Structure 1
Amino acid sequence: MPSARGTLDWSPAGDHTDLLADAVATALATAPGAEVAPIDATLADTERFCAAYDVALEASANCVIVAGKRAGEVRRAAVMVLATDRADINGVVRRYLNVRKISFAPMDEAVTLTGMEYGGITPIGLPADWPVVVDSAVVAAGPVVIGSGIRGSKLLVEGSVLADLPTAEVLDLAQR
């Protein structure tokens, strides 16, 4: 039966910073108890990853970067939602950021601004002024698998750890 741990070989993340993006390794203090496991980078996308490593979709949380404008100011945020759900980007997240229009950040922009690989972006280690909008179901899920900043590994953290990130805001934002 699939679980958050799946068939991966998890180790303390602080012992294997070579499996993390630099910004993630630097920010590990904000994610107590985080574990990391190497994966095949070609299997980093959620559905393929979960199937290959026997990880439950409901124990996998995706991070997307969104951007919107208000009065010429670009406002960005990371949005965390379980792989089984869809975030209400155009409703809840748009209102939270107080922008008129919102969209997913372009891939090259997200990669450049985060210092992380596309498909591995995670809320740990993001720019200090970016809000991290975490769906309440992620917090309640217990241990969840998230990106590590690179495609060749994954992090395992308690969902509640994401709620404790310095700029985190927990909202009911999933469309179930």
Structure 2
Amino acid sequence: MSNPVFGHLDAVPALTRPDLLAAPVAAAIEAIGLDALVAAIDPEHADTETLCATYGVPMDASANAVVVRGTRAGVEKHAVCMTLATHRVDVNGLVRRRLDARKASFAPMDYAVEATGMEYGGINPVGAPADWPVWVDGAVADTTWLCIGSGIRGSKLFLTAASLLSLPNAERVDGLARPAA
């Protein structure tokens, strides 16, 4: 399938290659009936900037998932924030307020990996814990096709912004992220 967002990658229907998906991602794609594609990559090139340079995937079509944690009076809340690779999530402003937290930060890597069942560098909202909200920055929502993590470092998932917003608990949140300096 030809699409400029795929760069030099050969994307195929995701469920035809479950070996390229983390188990929770494959289960969610099947359960939701999500229209997604997957492409194999060298795990050494999984980080966004390297991926885009190596495979020709546009930075402005690459979205990153950030797991955030907010706390208030000993109660923790989590969310998955989706931002373009060219932007940074406003954790201490909008995210903290939306979580109704006194303090907000990126969730520790070990926790995010264990809670999602996905590898670091491959975490995405598809298959994330069902009680976590998925906040999609307006810049992501306004993009047609997106390249995101697949749950493992050895592949990337491609889906439309509309598909991303169709996930349970997904919501467009304008101003969630700001352009990186």
TM-score range, shorter-chain basis? Answer: over 0.9
The aligned counterpart of 1:170 is 172
Q: Distance in 1 between matches of 2:144 and 2:62?
A: 10
Whether the aligned pair in 1 keeps the contact of 2:132 and 2:169 (CA below 8 Å) is yes
Q: 1:10 maps to which residue?
A: 11
Gaps of 5+ in 2: none
Q: 1:137 and 1:161 mapped to 2: Cα distance?
A: 15
Map of 1:103 onto structure 2:
105
Distance 2:157 2:53 in 1: 17
If the length of structure 2 is used for normalisation, what is the TM-score? 0.93
Q: Is the 8 A contact 1:58 1:82 kept in 2?
A: yes
Q: What one-letter code is carried by the residue in structure 1 that aligns with 2:109?
A: M
Deviations 1:12-63 (A, max 9, x none): 0011111000000000043622000000001000000000000000000000
More moved, 30-39 vs 147-156: 30-39
* TM-score of the superposed pair, with normalisation by structure 1: 0.96
Retained in 2: the 8 A contact 1:43–1:49? yes
Provide the identity percentage.
55
The total of aligned residue pairs comes to 175
Instruction: Answer yes or no: is the 8 Å Cα contact 1:114–1:121 preserved in 2.
Output: yes
Partner of 2:156, secondary structure, is: strand
Aligned CA-pair RMSD: 1.2
Partner of 1:22: 23
Match of 1:54 among 56, 60, 80: 56
2:29 and 2:35 in contact (8 A); partners too: no
Distance 2:11 2:89 in 1: 28
1:86-113: CA deviation from partner (whole Å, max 9, x where unpaired): 1111111111111010111111111111
1:74 paired residue number: 76
Question: Helix, strand or coil: the match of 2:136?
Answer: strand
Distance in 2 of aligned mates of 1:163 and 1:10:
21
